[in-house]
Structures are given as structure tokens and as C-alpha cells.
Amino acid sequence: MRNMIVISGLSGAGKSTALGFFEDSGYFCMDNVPPVLIDSIYDLVSKSPLPGAAIVVDARGKVFGDPVKHIRSSKDKLVLIFLEASTDEIVKRYSLTRRSHPLGLGIEEGVAREKEMLSDIREMADYIVDTSGMTHKDLRDRLRRLLEEISKERSDFTFRIKSFAFKHGIPSDSDFIFDARFFPNPYYVPELSAKTGLDPEIWEFFKRYEDIEKYVGEIVNMLKMAKQGYESEGRTSLFVSIGCSGGKHRSVYIAERVGKILKDMGEKVIVEHRELGVIS
């Protein structure tokens, strides 16, 4: 098990709250850590009775060299969590605290600059958490669920598949986005409207359309190919988002089908249906 948690992300996105959560969970915690010290901290904590270490590495770490280089070289030892939020959300949070941006820039300019500086680290993240609209409790609850997964043996590559509704926004953690809106919509069939893509009636409905199964197959083939490249870069997970208009029928069905095929192939898969509030 990897017991080094590296927290990175945008200023104002919740890194201090996240660090406080891991401290309360018994982890050795440090803020604004020079990335060159990652290996030393890992070696120290791995010999202690502590459950692990949680450290914050952000844009300020560039003062001590290339953080991407040090994170990538230690990727097999750590779990990287990247926190972000919309620019409007970050501006609102700074207006409440009356603090200045750590880069010495205006808030909006600072957010844009940080996104550029941290883009490579974001690409390596095992988990990307968009904290827009989250309270402190919401973020801690989200981290608690992540910690339950992190605490398990995570040597297997994980496909994280999420269904969603385009009208509610595209998930910001997506590596791949697939659109299901061009397929027939059961919503307009009176006896199926109240059902979801988890119900057998919806599965029977979609079995009539060969193109849907072909689309599912194409998605699976693309994800299998992508997995090889992601693993070579040290990534241990791939975030896939499948959307339709309402996020209850087409996207749910396709996410379930893709997840089932990958599971049958022996892959580790987590399927989440955002609009239904269900994880399978």
C-alpha cells in the first residue's frame, strides 16, 4: 500500500481543509513541502507506526526545482490528490477571507497562472476533486471516501466511469468524455420515462439498437489502448465520463455496459452515476 498522500491544486480550492482532514486521521502532515524531500519523508514515515504522511505540494514548490520530476520519480510510493474549483468560487472564497493570492497577483490572474503552472501535476493526479460548491464538511466527507479506497491495496489500474447530464456540466476530472445524446431517448416513452439505465426495462429497450452496442465496444477498445499509455506515465487510474441530456437513461446504461465488459476482462472498475447519486 502507498502511504504517502500528496495534496496539490489551486490556492483556495481546499488544500488546508484536506491537510487538516488527514492530520485528524493520524497522518504526519506538512504544508508547502519542497518536492525534493518526498522520498526522505516517505522513508521516515514508512518506518514509523503512523498510517502515513500527507503533504502539500503546490506552485510554491517550483522555488525548489521541478516538482513534476520529483513526483513522477516517486509515483509508485504516493497517491496524488489534486484539488480545484471554478474561478468564481475561488474569488468568492478569497473575498470572504480577505487574503491575497500567494503568487502576489490579482485573484483571477493568480488562478490562471496557477492552472498553467500546475497543469503537469494535474495530469498525473490519481484523484481530481472539484470543490466548487462544497462546504468544509462536504470536502471532508469526500476525502473520507477516498481514504477508504486509498487504504486498500491499490496496485491494480482502476477505470473510474461516471455518467452525467450535460445540462448540469461536464465533470472536471474527465480524461475521456463520450456523448450518448445521439441515441434514442427512453425518456420520451411514457412507460419508461420514470425508469433509469439501471432498470431491466431500459436494458431491453436499448438491446433493439445495434449501434449502441457498437459504440460501447468502441469505447472499451479505446480505453484498453489508453490504459497502456497511462500506465507507462505512472498513472494508476483513468477517469471516463459518459453524458446524455438528463443523465438518467442513455449515459447510465452505456456506463454500466462499459463497466461490465471491463470487469469481465478482469479490470478494476468503479462506476458512478452522478445524477442518480449511485456508485456501483
Q: Are residues 113 and 187 in the same domain?
A: no
Q: Are residues 135 and 169 in the same domain?
A: no
Q: Are residues 116 and 181 in the same domain?
A: no
Distance CA 277, CA 239 (A): 17
**pLDDT at residue 61, as a whole number:** 63
| Domain end marker among 105, 126, 150 | 150
User: Do 44 and 32 form a contact (C-beta atoms < 8 A)?
Assistant: no
The crossing angle, in degrees rounded to 10, of helices 15-24 and 136-150 is 60
Residue with cell 485528524: 24
**pLDDT at residue 2, as a whole number:** 55
pLDDT, one tens digit per residue, over 140-150 is 999 988 887 77
pLDDT exceeds 80 at position 97: no
pLDDT, one tens digit per residue, over 41-51 is 888 877 777 77
Query: How large is the average pLDDT for residues 76-90?
Result: 90
The CA-CA-CA angle for residues 105, 138, 72, to 5°, reads 60
We report the CATH number of the domain holding residue 76 as 3.40.50.300
Tally Cβ neighbours within 10 Å of residue 260: 14
User: Do 122 and 116 form a contact (C-beta atoms < 8 A)?
Assistant: no
Please state, rounded to an integer, the average pLDDT across all residues of the chain: 88
Distance CA 106, CA 216 (A): 45
Between 25 and 210, the more confident residue is: 210
Q: Are residues 168 and 93 in the same domain?
A: no
Query: How large is the average pLDDT for residues 69-83?
Result: 81
Distances in Å between the Cα of 111 and the Cα atoms of 6, 88, 124, 199, 222 are: 20, 10, 19, 43, 33
Burial class (CB in 10 A: 0-12, 13-18, 19+), 194: exposed
pLDDT exceeds 50 at position 1: no
**pLDDT at residue 241, as a whole number:** 97
Q: Are residues 116 and 164 in the same domain?
A: no
Query: How large is the average pLDDT for residues 121-130?
Result: 91
Q: Are residues 33 and 100 in the same domain?
A: yes
Q: Are residues 10 and 142 in the same domain?
A: yes
pLDDT, one tens digit per residue, over 23-67 is 988 888 999 888 888 888 888 877 777 778 899 988 766 655 577
Percent of the chain exceeding pLDDT 70 equals: 94
Q: Are residues 222 and 265 in the same domain?
A: yes
User: Do 11 and 61 form a contact (C-beta atoms < 8 A)?
Assistant: no
Q: Are residues 24 and 43 in the same domain?
A: yes
Percent of the chain exceeding pLDDT 90 equals: 55
| Domain end marker among 150, 180, 204 | 150
Query: How large is the average pLDDT for residues 261-278?
Result: 92
Q: Are residues 111 and 226 in the same domain?
A: no
Quote the domain boundaries for residue 213: 158-279
Q: Are residues 163 and 115 in the same domain?
A: no
| Domain end marker among 107, 126, 150 | 150
Position 264: which residue type? D
Structural domain tally of the chain?
2
**pLDDT at residue 120, as a whole number:** 87
Q: Are residues 64 and 181 in the same domain?
A: no
- Strand ranges (E), the chain: 4-9, 28-30, 53-56, 78-84, 127-130, 158-165, 176-179, 237-244, 268-273, 278-279
pLDDT exceeds 70 at position 152: no
